[in-house]
Amino acid sequence: MVESLDDNVRDLAENLQEMLGAANAFPGLPELASTTNVIKEIGRLSLQIASLIHEYTKAPYLGKFSAIT
């Protein structure tokens, strides 16, 4: 179970890295009327993912993994 949780958190970290890479690749992406601001949404989701990873890694009773990347 702990290994499975570690794998899930590692996957979240990898997805976070990919999302931030995509956002950095298109820093001046124009916002289209009546659509989602993609860069803003990536930023919001990135903060949520980072918060989840932080909470998981500080939990004393859960397994720890040595590297997220």
- What's 23-64 look like in SS3? HHHCCCCCCCCCCCCHHHHHHHHHHHHHHHHHHHHHCCCCCC
What's the rounded Cα separation, in Å, for the pair 43 and 66? 26
Output the CA angle 8-10-14, nearest 5 degrees.
Answer: 115
Per-residue pLDDT of the chain (69 residues; tens, 9 = 90+): 557 878 888 888 898 888 888 878 877 777 788 888 877 888 888 888 888 888 887 766 555 554 444
**Which sequence spans correspond to the domains of the chain?**
2-58
User: What integer pLDDT is reported at residue 60 of this predicted model?
Assistant: 62
What's the rounded Cα separation, in Å, for the pair 51 and 53? 5
pTM for this predicted structure: 0.62
